[in-house]
Amino acid sequence: MKNAFLILFIGAFITASAQIETPGPKQTKKIMLLNGIAHLGNGEVIKNSAISIIDGKFEIVANAATIKIDFKQFDTVIELRGQHVYPGIIAPNSTLGLTEIGAVRMTSDYAEYGMFNPHVRSIIAYNTESKITTTVRSNGVLLGQITPRGGQIAGTSSVVEFDAWNWEDAVYKENDGVHMGWPKTRHQWTGKKNEKFDKEVAQLNDFFANALAYSKVTDNAEKNFRFEAMRGVFNGEQTLFVHANFIKEITEAILLSKKYAVKKLVIVGGYDAWMVADMLKENKVSVMLKRVHSLPERQEDDVYLPYKLPKKLLDAGVFFCLENSGDMEAMGTRNLPFYAGTAAAYGIDKEEALKLITLNTATILGIDKTVGSIESGKDATFFISTGDALDMRTNNVTSAYIQGREMDVDNHQKKLYRKYSGKYENQ
């Protein structure tokens, strides 16, 4: 179809099929996206953009009015007519693919038995056929850091793309980091004081001391898988993610990571992180900020504090992105763009808000060289929405691409919608 203009109208194409969503084939044709409002993910916007995609990568990323484009080069030219183009949203600290139905224990694979499990790896349990994932990517969330939960050290996460035949295909960055929960001062459900808190902190210290000592040699007489899994944290190949919300936990986590010479530390949660911004900056610790749509932790907190935390962290100069763990988290991942929207409603620039779910996330996960923004040379992982994707009122994802592969944005829910709409229409 050389030289042909393929004109797409708003919301016009629904690839209505009854089939299970199938991974898109490798990009073979050269694509030009024209006249879309491109939100690059690095803070910039190009209103009438020209974006070319060749071999799964972005090549031209420019203002269509200021460059000369040789349309003959392209197999497909898509006229976007003011639709919005966004880099694929990244869901960090996610259990997608590790759980299917919350209440059905047998569908859950995110929490291993025991307190210290750095060696368990989420990637091999990641289910590429999850019905939830298809509803998530239909809203523009295209990558995720699949993360184990539970215990003191939950396990090792990996970053995946949300369109794959199996987990080996899905891997974007394998074993990117180890996840640790800072001991809680009170029980999550009962609210009662955790009497074992001191003991748990001591156990953590003991574990780190031994893991560090073990990592100093490579010819250990007897292999210890738990300690083997910690090597990356000490040699800088992996990030240590510490899940902690409150000021004391955060500062203690930083001190522990310094004590054991952890190379890269990220705080996950970070409700109080803005209060210790200087310490975070000084130690180059970034934050995956807890779900923006949550209740304040303290009675007297600003009623909107969770909405305003992005602004507080931004103003304080802390490097951070947004995460989504908590109640209903797997299925709620599709609301990630709206957390950025709320952050924008409460004081930050919309493009800055977009960074919090794209480029900043990529940077914290160490994948920003290849993904996270619409920039020449990076993976063509992006989506198109007829309106502002950060607002549920206008978010309407019409197509999505991962490394140039067009993805099926259909899902189980859309199928049921069509099925039953059809039922009434035919009555």
Q: Which is nearer to other proteins, 5 or 417 (CB)?
A: 417
Q: Which residues contact 207 (CB under 8 A, 6 or more apart)?
A: 116, 152, 153, 226
Residue among 25 and 191 whose Cβ is closer to other proteins: 191
Contact yes or no for 12/56 (Cβ under 8 A): no
Count Cβ atoms below 10 Å from residue 301 Cβ, excluding itself. Answer: 13
Nearest by Cα to 36 from 19, 55, 49: 49
Q: How far is CA 116 from CA 93, 138, 227, 230, 392, in A?
A: 18, 36, 10, 11, 40
**Residues 306, 295 contacting (CB under 8 angstroms):** yes
Coil, helix or strand at residue 136: helix
With respect to other proteins, which residue has the nearer C-beta, 203 or 396?
A: 396
Give me the least distance between CB of 330 and other proteins, in Å please.
6
Tell me how far, at minimum, the Cβ of 300 lies from other proteins, in Å.
4
CB of 296 to other proteins, least distance (A): 7
Q: Where are the alpha helices (DSSP H) in 79-183?
A: 131-137, 167-170
Q: How far is the CB of 299 from other proteins (least distance, A)?
A: 4
**99 Cβ partners below 8 Å, 6+ apart?**
107, 108, 109, 110, 330
* Smaller CB separation from other proteins, 169 or 349: 349
Q: How far is the CB of 251 from other proteins (least distance, A)?
A: 8
Tell me the closest approach of the beta carbon of residue 290 to other proteins, in angstroms. 12
Distances (CA, A) of 219 to 234, 339, 349, 380: 16, 47, 52, 42
- Which residues are near other proteins by CB under 8 A? 100-104, 131-132, 185-186, 191-193, 246-248, 251, 272, 293-296, 298-300, 302-304, 327-328, 330-331, 334-335, 338, 341-342, 344-346, 390-396, 413-414, 416-417, 420-421, 424, 427
- Which residues contact residue 233 at a Cβ distance below 8 angstroms, ignoring those fewer than 6 apart? 118, 177, 178, 211, 239, 240, 262, 263, 264
- Minimum CB distance to other proteins smaller for 231 or for 293: 293
Angstrom distance (rounded) from CA 102 to CA 108: 7
Nearer to other proteins, 305 or 316 (CB): 305
Cβ nearer to other proteins, comparing 58 with 110: 110
| Smallest separation (angstroms) from other proteins to the CB of 327 | 8
